[in-house]
């Protein structure tokens, strides 16, 4: 990825794109490989997508890496995913730093091992001063969890007398939702042909455009990302109006 490649090619692009990266297991099954092989191939697709988004001038790219429901998967697969996450944080942080991409991880990080939590913190700190695209990784994240946590913070304000219950507005809750300090979500892409949000960014997706693509995540590349952007650019966003 060169500096030239990171130059935005279009001004009519979404500021904030989120991706539900679906299809790793099906990709591995089709190839008669273990599930971890699909996740490794998915990690390669992440690199391609990050590069494509940065090149196009996207300001924020949010990737759904591990949901709060994924703990129900076989332990062997979970262990493989955690190991892959750890290795990716160690390896990719330097590459992100090179291209001034800031990393942010959202979700209930307390559910991870202490060593993984420490590595997340290290990777975030290493890229904290970068002023390019923000790469958000949603890990052990759930949209309902996000809203509940924000509600708890607002409730604490009520308990301490900082806020009256009758005065609570949408804005008060929005201030405590994940990604509150970043541009609003414009576009959600889901791969693998499934057409559901799977408890992802439930608050943030209120007026986002949805694009569902049949390609399995490990096969997703810059051509598919460009296709999604082309579809987005043809949409008329009304935000509830005409």
What pTM, to 2 d.p., does this model score? 0.91
Domains for the chain: give ranges and CATH numbers.
Answer: 16-142+185-233 (3.40.1180.10)
Residue-level pLDDT at 10:
44
Catalytic residue among 70, 97, 130, 199: 70
Tokens of 140: 């052990």
For residue 61, which phi and psi values (nearest 5 degrees)?
-120, 120
Catalytic residue among 3, 22, 79, 130: 22
| 117: pLDDT strictly greater than 80 | yes
| 8: pLDDT strictly greater than 50 | no
Q: Does the annotation mark 70 as catalytic?
A: yes
The residue written with tokens 């009304």 in the block is 238
| Per-residue pLDDT band at 237 (split at 50, 70, 90) | confident
Q: Cα separation of 121 and 127, whole Å?
A: 10
| 112: pLDDT strictly greater than 70 | yes
| 158: pLDDT strictly greater than 80 | yes
**Higher-scoring residue by pLDDT: 9, 46:** 46
Alpha-carbon separation of residue 158 from 144, 148, 167, 203, 211 (angstroms): 21, 15, 10, 21, 39
């Amino acid at each position: 990825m060169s500096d030239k490649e990171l130059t935005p090619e279009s001004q009519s692009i979404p500021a904030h794109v989120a991706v539900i990266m679906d299809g790793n297991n099906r990709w591995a099954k089709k190839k008669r490989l273990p599930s971890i092989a699909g996740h490794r191939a998915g990690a390669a697709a992440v690199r391609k997508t990050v590069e494509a988004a940065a090149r196009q001038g996207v300001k924020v790219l949010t990737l759904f890496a591990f949901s709060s429901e994924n703990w129900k998967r076989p332990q062997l697969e979970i262990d493989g995913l955690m190991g892959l996450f750890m290795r990716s944080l160690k390896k990719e942080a330097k590459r992100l730093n090179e291209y001034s991409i800031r990393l942010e991880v959202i979700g209930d990080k307390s559910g991870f091992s202490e060593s993984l939590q420490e590595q997340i913190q290290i990777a975030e700190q290493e890229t904290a001063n970068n002023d390019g695209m923000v790469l958000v990784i949603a890990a052990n994240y759930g949209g309902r969890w996000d809203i509940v946590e924000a509600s708890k913070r607002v409730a604490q304000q009520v308990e301490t007398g900082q806020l009256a219950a009758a005065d609570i507005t949408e804005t008060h809750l929005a201030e405590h939702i994940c990604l509150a300090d970043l541009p609003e979500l414009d576009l959600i892409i889901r791969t693998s042909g499934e057409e559901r949000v799977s408890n992802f960014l439930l608050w943030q997706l209120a007026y986002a455009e949805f694009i569902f693509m049949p390609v399995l995540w490990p096969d997703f590349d810059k051509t598919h990302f460009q296709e999604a952007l082309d579809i987005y650019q043809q949409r008329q966003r009304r935000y509830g109006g005409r």
